[in-house]
Amino acid sequence: MKMIYQQLLAFFVVIAFIILLLGFSFSRMSKAFVYDSTWQRLENYSDSLIQQSLIINKKDNSVSFNNLSLKTSEAMLDNQSAHFTIFSAKKQVLFPNDGISTNITKSDWNSIKNGRIVRKISNRSKKMNDGKTRPAMIEVVKPYYYNKKLVAAVVTGSFVSNLNSNVKRINRNLLVGLVVALVISMVVSLFLASRMNRRVAKLRSAAKQVANGNYDIQLPNRGNDEISQLIGDFNHMTSSLKEANQEIERQEERRQEFLADAAHEMRTPLTTISGILEGIRYDVIPTEARDKSFELMNSETQRLIRLVNDNLDYEKIRTNSIQLDRINFNAYNLITNVVEQLSNKAKDAGDELIIKSPKELPVYADYDRFSEIIINIVNNALQFTENGTVTIIGERGFNETIIRIADTGIGMSEEQKRNIFERYYKADASRRSGEYGESGLGLAIVHQLVKQHGGTISVQSTLDEGTTFIIVFPDEGHSKSNPDSENQAKDIKDGK
């Protein structure tokens, strides 16, 4: 069954049940009200009857009734569809003896003798002794006392049929009201159900579009009900999917770039080697050029080996299959070694290499991997800085060691900053190969290594002004972040 019909049925059942319940109790209430007010009216008739026609002889305390007054009252009450019978204290009918007068039952008589007023309904019509039919009546039996002695009892009654017509009229009005309420509530519930259905249908068609690959879809969302919350979640889901999709596309682009890069990187040395081998085979290389040719072949082979090794290394670190041998050592000594190693390269680039660090700079890291991280970043700094300075700043933080490597080189754009930790990313694609054989793997490896150390790496850079890399190594037992956490990787990417 469609949802709208289910909802309508549910609404209908609830509303019909409530209306039935209300109708039943209202009808009972109105009936009780009509009966009550009739009894009250009959009591009033009875009282005024006694007031007007009872005569008391004060000498002997005997009572009698003014017959004329009674007849007038009888005629008047007849107009009101009311009848009365007066009984003496000895239960004899005093007025009128017309055959349709009620009999007071034994229990009624006992009650009135005790001063109680009896209200009763005789629902069924009765056949009297004289053959006349006495219709169903509503009656009050009320006793009257003089000097604490029962002097008379009056039975006043009215035909139940008169009352029922009143009750029926009230019930009819009630029924009309309830039917109108039922119709209005059905219209309102139809409106609400169809509104909800329209929103669900919109969600369905949006979900279909997402399934077909359209992640741009965002549904308008007003209100605060469950469907609105679902729409909010849906919008959130599509924007996450969109981001994920963009990330996949970015990765794919990077992969394709890498394939082109890798092919190019490998083709150049392979072409060189193949050319030299051809030369040797056909003996066309002059003797004096042979040594140089072997040297070239060797350096090209080294470059290929490095490319393959870097790739393997990156995969190993990324998949957590390298073992870090972390120890506490003085990073200052290591930094001075690195500076010494790279001093020639600095000289070639016209750069000045400066160390700013206390002589004691404890760090908790894998010695070789730490050295690899520093060499990689300093290498980059020298590579992208000409006639400038590269400063290595070492300092202690709160339970951590912070290394900053700042250069005054070419700097990076925001886009470059976002991508440098990606594998095979090279900001300047035209510099495909150089003296140092760039493959775009250096920072990707560094990033993974720092992550494995439980540390963080971030970059601050301005185009044409320079770049600063900040690496934080936590002390033993103070690794703040889970090395595998995605958030951390994101922080690194965002340069936070």
Which residues of this protein are in contact with ligand ATP, per CB under 6 A? 380-381, 384, 407, 409-410, 412, 420, 425-428, 436-444, 467
Q: Which stretch binds Mg ion (CB under 5 A): 27-35, 239-247, 340-348, 442-450?
A: 442-450
Residue 403 or residue 444: which is nearer to ligand ATP going by CB?
444
Q: Which stretch binds Mg ion (CB under 5 A): 63-71, 309-317, 327-335, 437-445?
A: 437-445
Residue 73 or residue 383: which is nearer to ligand ATP going by CB?
383
Q: Looking at residues 290 to 349 of the shown chain, list those that interact with Mg ion (rule: CB under 5 A).
A: none
DSSP of 351-364: -EEEEE--S--EEE
Q: Which does 455 bind (CB under 5 to 8 A by kind): Mg ion, ligand ATP, none?
A: none
Closest residue by Cα to residue 57 from 49, 66, 44, 47: 66
Closest approach, Cβ 252 to ligand ATP, in A, equals 19
**Chain position whose Cβ is nearest to ligand ATP:** 442
Task: Note the helical H segments in 356-424.
Answer: 367-383, 414-419
Q: How many residues bind Mg ion (CB under 5 A)?
A: 2
Q: Which does 381 bind (CB under 5 to 8 A by kind): Mg ion, ligand ATP, none?
A: ligand ATP
Closest approach, Cβ 376 to Mg ion, in A, equals 6
Q: Is 437 in the site for Mg ion (CB under 5 A)?
A: no
Closest approach, Cβ 402 to ligand ATP, in A, equals 18
Distance of alpha carbon 74 from the chain centroid: 77
Closest approach, Cβ 250 to ligand ATP, in A, equals 16
Closest approach, Cβ 468 to ligand ATP, in A, equals 9
Closest residue by Cα to residue 104 from 146, 149, 148, 152: 152
Strands 389-397 and 352-356: parallel
Residue 178 or residue 427: which is nearer to ligand ATP going by CB?
427
Closest approach, Cβ 387 to ligand ATP, in A, equals 14
Q: Which does 448 bind (CB under 5 to 8 A by kind): ligand ATP, Mg ion, none?
A: none
Cα-Cα-Cα-Cα dihedral sign, residues 191, 192, 193, 198: positive
Could you identify the residue written with the tokens 């004289």?
130
DSSP of 20-46: HHHHHHHHHHHHHHHHHHHHHHHHHHH
- End-to-end distance of the chain based on CA atoms, in angstroms? 54
Q: Which helix (H) or strand (E) holds 246?
A: helix 226-281
Closest approach, Cβ 314 to ligand ATP, in A, equals 9
Helix axes 3-53, 67-79, angle to 10 degrees: 160
Residue 380 or residue 416: which is nearer to Mg ion going by CB?
380
The residue within the footprint of Mg ion, chosen from 442, 454, 455, 474 (CB under 5 A), is: 442
Q: Are 66 and 53 in contact (CB under 8 A)?
A: yes
Closest approach, Cβ 300 to ligand ATP, in A, equals 15
Residue 199 or residue 426: which is nearer to ligand ATP going by CB?
426
Helix axes 331-341, 367-383, angle to 10 degrees: 40
Q: Is 380 in the site for Mg ion (CB under 5 A)?
A: yes
Residue 42 or residue 378: which is nearer to ligand ATP going by CB?
378
Q: Is 411 in the site for Mg ion (CB under 5 A)?
A: no
Please report, to the nearest 10 degrees, the dihedral formed by the alpha carbons of residues 313, 314, 317, 318 taken in order.
-150
Cα-Cα-Cα-Cα dihedral sign, residues 205, 206, 210, 213: positive
Residue 338 to residue 230: CA distance in whole angstroms: 57
Residue 128 or residue 354: which is nearer to ligand ATP going by CB?
354
Q: Which does 425 bind (CB under 5 to 8 A by kind): ligand ATP, Mg ion, none?
A: ligand ATP
Q: Are 489 and 451 in contact (CB under 8 A)?
A: yes
Q: Is 419 in the site for Mg ion (CB under 5 A)?
A: no
Q: Which stretch binds Mg ion (CB under 5 A): 106-114, 170-178, 342-350, 380-388?
A: 380-388
Closest approach, Cβ 442 to Mg ion, in A, equals 3
Residue 122 to residue 112: CA distance in whole angstroms: 18
Residue 190 or residue 266: which is nearer to ligand ATP going by CB?
266
Cβ contacts of 234 within 8 Å, gap of 6 or more: 203, 206, 207, 219
Q: Are 482 and 488 in contact (CB under 8 A)?
A: yes
Q: Which residues bind Mg ion (CB under 5 A)?
A: 380, 442
